[in-house]
Amino acid sequence: MTLMQINAEIYRSLGAIAEDEGLMKRAAKYLKKLATQKEDDTLMTKEEFFARIDESLQQAKEGKVKTFTDIEEMNAWLDSL
């Protein structure tokens, strides 16, 4: 589907709900959410997220972890970052 076709589909769908204020509010809220996601370069896809989880689990299996004896030690390490 081309960008032009997608735009036409969006406008057709908006036309179908244009008389319903509740639906238009929901559509506007969702579009705002999508726009925010596009602007936020810190977001990652589900695939990227689960790949990072898998990598962390593998590192833990290999013993590449940081352990602390108490919370003060952990806080000191965090403060050093």
Mind listing the pLDDT tens digit for each residue in 46-74? Answer: 899 999 999 999 999 999 988 999 999 99
Residues 48 and 37 in one domain: no
- What span, in angstroms and rounded, lies between the C-alpha atoms of 6 and 76? 53
pLDDT tens digits along 5-54: 999 999 999 999 999 999 999 999 999 988 877 777 777 888 999 999 99
Q: Which domain holds residue 25?
A: 1-41
- Residues in Cβ contact with 27 at an 8 Å cutoff, skipping those fewer than 6 apart: 14, 17
Residues 27 and 58 in one domain: no
- Residues in Cβ contact with 74 at an 8 Å cutoff, skipping those fewer than 6 apart: 68
Residues 25 and 50 in one domain: no
Residues 33 and 52 in one domain: no
Domain count, the chain: 2
- What span, in angstroms and rounded, lies between the C-alpha atoms of 4 and 10? 10
